[in-house]
Each structure stands twice: as structure tokens, then as C-alpha cells.
Structure 1
């Protein structure tokens, strides 16, 4: 199993999260993939997926705040 090697972006505390209830986060994994902590919105968004998009039963649609992704942009590799 892959391991977390670094956070992408700034810690949730720097984005205003002071507790455990609002901590979206993005991590780079040792295999080059990324892991995301966000709000599970699968039920609300699944029916609205474009016709050329799909997800497996084991996949979830996860929402992260705009600020989380924007503040991670500088840390996301180009290749």
C-alpha cells in the first residue's frame, strides 16, 4: 500500500480550520498518486455526472473547498 509522503498546499489550520470538522486536505503518495480528504458528496452529485464520466462502486465523489485546491496549486507537480 502506498504511503503519504507530503501535504500538497498548506495545513487546514492556515486555511481557518480550528477543529476536526472542516479539514479538507490533499496529500502526495509514494506511488505518485494523490489522496484527498473532503466531504463525501457522492449521493448528491452522482446523478449529475456528465455522460462521459462514471465511477466504480468503490469510488466516491469528494468535494474540497476552492481555497484548499487553490492554495495547493503551487505544490502540484507539472509532470
Structure 2
């Protein structure tokens, strides 16, 4: 599995001064997506709806609205 491309604007394009430590979204060679975000499992797990769950190996991460909105046009429909 490899990172194929960034989805959306880079951290620098979104206003990060260092461009190094900000949320990011990547498309992977297997068609899945990887995200860099703020780990928030402990805070948000109890807020999940009744029909949502996470496996022990999964984490809930926060990605800023700006990051996701700017990625929208790069996310394929299918």
C-alpha cells in the first residue's frame, strides 16, 4: 500500500505557517483514503450513534472542516 496523491489543498495552501503538522487526506494505491487528524477517540466514542461502532484497531480522528471542504473536488464519485 502506498500514498498515491494528496486529496485537497496542502497544509501550506490552507494557511499553515510551517506546512508540516496539519490535518491532511491522502488517496492510497488500494483506493482507500488515509487521514492525518487530531486523535479524539476518548472524547467522541460515547457520542457515536447507536448504529456506529469502532474496532479496537480503529481511532476517531478530527479533520478540520476547511481540510475536508477543500478536498471535496478531489474525491471521486465512484
Confirm or deny a common fold (TM above 0.5).
yes
Structure 1: state its 5+ residue gaps: none
Aligned to 1:44: 43
Aligned to 1:27: 26
Calculate the TM-score normalised by the size of structure 1: 0.94
Q: Distance in 2 between matches of 1:34 and 1:68?
A: 14
Calculate the TM-score normalised by the size of structure 2: 0.95
Q: Distance in 2 between matches of 1:58 and 1:11?
A: 27
Query: After the TM superposition, which segments of 4 or more aligned residues of structure 1 sit over 4 Å from their partners?
Result: none
Structure 2: state its 5+ residue gaps: none
